Structure 1
Amino acid sequence: MKQFHAILTRFTIAVFLLLSIITLSFPSEIGETIRLIPDQEGEEGYPKGWKPLTFSKISRHTRYTLVREEGRLMIKAESHQSASGLYIPLELDPGTYSSISWCWKINRILKKGNETKKEGDDYAARIYVTFKYDPEKATFWERTKFGAIKMIYGEYPPKSAINYVWANFLPKGNSIPNPYTDRAEMVAVESGAEYVGQWRCEERDIEEDYQKFFGEKPPPLLGVAVMTDTDNTQEEAIAYYSNLLIKKSKPVK
């Protein structure tokens, strides 16, 4: 039963419940580059196409607003001992749209954050990329687990996720499985307090990362989320997310 419950992380549960009640709303600029934060507001003041991502057992939610700085529209996240995210559903082939890039800025790292423990699983900034479950390519055990979840909730959860984080103490460039499940890999794209208060711009090869972490070609992308959370550590943090793009071109190394 521990293996069964391992995939029921607070994030994957929230994602597939969210997907079960909304119609997929893809960004309009389908081309070489898909801009995930368009220069216009959608419902509730979020970027167009984005939806709140909340968790049933967490009553205090992170506050997300759209702000403009130096002519750029960006997402501001304010977390006060809270947890929630923003999520945009997608359905893209990572073999074609293989690159994700973004810029982010944080006001602090979390002193009690610990990437290896559930009670330390908080980050001032993180970006999730989730991947679709395909029953035709699943093992018998996977079909059993995911089928049981679908019977309860009406939708399959994501098969897996890559979680690009501004780590608290995990060294930059390192990665570890999420303390809740080995189907989510935590990748320290930035780490520590050296660049706190400064914009940092990142780019990752989604296809290459997935093959490295999970040992197989990635299934279709299911969606992208941003999250700033401090509920486990009972701390506070502010983050900004900007220029979030999905691209066909590979990152320059």
Structure 2
Amino acid sequence: MLRWTILLFSIIVCLNVTAATNLTSLSDKGIDSWEPKEFSGESIYTIDEYKGRLALKALSHNAASGLVLEQQIDLTATPYLNWSWLVEKTLLQLDERSKKGDDFVARIYVVIDGGFMVWKTKSLNYVWSSNQDKDLVWDNAFAGSSVKMMSVRGKEAQKGQWYQEKRNVYQDLIDIFGDKGSEQANQKAYKYIDIIAIMTDTDNSGKQAESYYGDIVFSAM
């Protein structure tokens, strides 16, 4: 009996460890299910081999458009967002906290969709900042406190180098938008995200950016 209990426990652990959802699946053209969203001009996204890995290449010249996936993710099951990215051209001399400088060479963001209750819509942007320090959080210049920017990479990051990232989105949402006071209340507020997006944008500055994204994966650990 003990042996079967240990075996069952091992299977459960393995399932929890390996639980993951690859949202882009670049090698299998999974990115084709993402919808283009244009805000101001069109950034160009293509799949290409770059510096040793398959990547989503993003080119932007005075443009702001992204790729959007409407898919609900249960953050209590797979709270970790994993991705890699590389930047070749940064946007110098911008105040990215201002409307004129609200451009980013690379960003991945998640959205809690409030639907008709617009005030409940929240977005967290994980950005590669060309001018801010790493690990800063600020309100979006256009949307205010409902959209938060987090500089996962900052001005000290190296161009032409792949960086691997891992963020606990569930915990980040609690930390950034506020702890509701109990696990039950936090789950009610932050358990699900509804939209994931990728964007390289330069419309406010009129500059050029060149960036690369690896697969985007949500995982249990």
What's the TM-score once normalised by structure 2's chain length? 0.81
Q: Count how many residue pairs are aligned between Structure 1 and Structure 2.
A: 193
**Conserved 8 A contact 1:62-1:84:** yes
Give structure 2 stretches of 5+ with no counterpart. 1-17, 181-185
Give structure 1 stretches of 5+ with no counterpart. 1-30, 136-142, 147-156
**Conserved 8 A contact 2:133-2:156:** no
Following the alignment from structure 1 to structure 2, what is the Cα–Cα distance between the partners of residues 206 and 194? 22
Following the alignment from structure 1 to structure 2, what is the Cα–Cα distance between the partners of residues 214 and 68? 37
Does 2:199 align with 1:211? no
**Conserved 8 A contact 1:132-1:219:** no
Residue of structure 1 equivalent to 2:20 = 33
RMSD between superposed Cα atoms in Å: 2.0
Following the alignment from structure 1 to structure 2, what is the Cα–Cα distance between the partners of residues 227 and 64? 9
Does 2:154 align with 1:191? yes
> 2:28 is matched by which residue type in structure 1?
Q
Following the alignment from structure 2 to structure 1, what is the Cα–Cα distance between the partners of residues 105 and 49? 20
Question: 1:246: how far off?
Answer: 0.7
**Conserved 8 A contact 1:113-1:123:** no
Question: 1:248: how far off?
Answer: 1.5
Distance 1:98 1:194, change over 3 A: closer
**Conserved 8 A contact 2:84-2:165:** yes
Following the alignment from structure 1 to structure 2, what is the Cα–Cα distance between the partners of residues 175 and 115? 12
**Conserved 8 A contact 2:93-2:131:** no
Question: 1:205: how far off?
Answer: 0.5
- Mapping for residues 43-192 of structure 1, pairs under 5 Å: 47-55=31-39, 58=40, 60-69=41-50, 72-133=53-114, 143=117, 146=118, 159-180=121-142, 181-192=144-155
Following the alignment from structure 2 to structure 1, what is the Cα–Cα distance between the partners of residues 148 and 94? 17
Following the alignment from structure 1 to structure 2, what is the Cα–Cα distance between the partners of residues 104 and 230? 18
Does 2:208 align with 1:236? yes
Question: 1:108: how far off?
Answer: 2.3
Question: 1:92: how far off?
Answer: 1.7
Q: SS in structure 1 opposite 2:32?
A: coil
Runs of 4+ in 1 over 2 A off after TM superposition: 68-73
Percent identical residues: 30
Question: 1:134: how far off?
Answer: 6.5
**Conserved 8 A contact 2:170-2:191:** no
Question: 1:70: how far off?
Answer: 6.2
Following the alignment from structure 2 to structure 1, what is the Cα–Cα distance between the partners of residues 130 and 161? 16
> 2:90 is matched by which residue type in structure 1?
I
Following the alignment from structure 1 to structure 2, what is the Cα–Cα distance between the partners of residues 84 and 230? 9
> 2:24 is matched by which residue type in structure 1?
I
Q: Which protein shows a greater Rg?
A: 2
